[in-house]
């Protein structure tokens, strides 16, 4: 058991000392943080989405996801299994066969995540607009600052030239 990942085994709860409803996310050993890190990592969400349709074998997942390395797929599946979101079934046979499926809890998580996906779909245009507007503003400010700097330079030069002339 290499225990390569960091999720500590001992406490696992938000520090309840000084608990503040606003601080449920205060990093390290907070449950919300951990789940968020899991679903936001590069592959977990994909795996969950795929397994929602039907159970799949290791290689089926590997082929379907494309881009994932064996190492990462294994790690992802182990994490999900450890959290009770995915079940792993080994069929003793040659060649070996291992099926992965969503647990009931995994299914409920997927439902919840769908809400977020829906939100994103509904707001992607608004977000794109906001970004475009922001970038335009940023460019404008940039240019404004440069123009002001140039003006200050010009004035400074003029003053210096005038100073040497009046001397």
Partner DNA sequence: CAGTATCCCCATAGATACTG
Partner DNA sequence: CAGTATCTATGGGGATACTG
Contact pick of 5, 54, 59, 64 for a second copy (by CB under 8 A):
64
The minimum distance between CB 150 and DNA, in angstroms, equals 16
Residue closest to 87 by CA, chosen among 105, 108, 113, 65? 105
49 vs 99, beta carbon nearer a second copy: 49
Can residue 46 be called a binding residue for a second copy (CB under 8 A)? Answer: yes
**Is residue 127 helix, strand or coil?**
helix
Can residue 7 be called a binding residue for a second copy (CB under 8 A)? Answer: yes
Angle at 40 between CA 34 and CA 46, to 5 degrees: 125
Can residue 49 be called a binding residue for DNA (CB under 7 A)? Answer: no
Residue closest to 89 by CA, chosen among 100, 73, 74, 80? 100
Instruction: Give residues in contact with DNA (CB under 7 A).
Output: 2, 5-6, 41-43, 57-60, 67-72, 74-75, 77-78, 88, 95-98
């Amino acid at each position: 058991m290499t225990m390569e990942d960091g999720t500590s085994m001992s406490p696992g709860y938000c520090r309840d000392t000084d608990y503040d409803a606003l601080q449920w996310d205060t990093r390290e050993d907070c449950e919300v943080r951990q789940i968020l890190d899991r679903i936001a990592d590069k592959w977990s969400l994909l795996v969950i989405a795929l397994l929602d349709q039907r159970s799949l074998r290791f290689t089926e997942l590997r082929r379907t996801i494309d881009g994932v390395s064996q190492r990462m797929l294994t790690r992802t599946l182990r994490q999900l299994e450890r959290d009770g979101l995915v079940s792993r079934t080994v069929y003793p046979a040659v060649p070996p066969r291992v099926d992965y499926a969503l647990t009931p809890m995994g299914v409920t998580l997927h439902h919840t995540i769908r809400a977020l996906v829906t939100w994103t779909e509904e707001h992607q245009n608004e977000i794109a607009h906001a970004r475009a507007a922001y970038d335009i503003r940023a460019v404008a400010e940039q240019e404004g600052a440069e123009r002001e700097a140039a003006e200050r330079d010009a004035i400074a030069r003029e003053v210096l030239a005038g100073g040497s002339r009046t001397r």
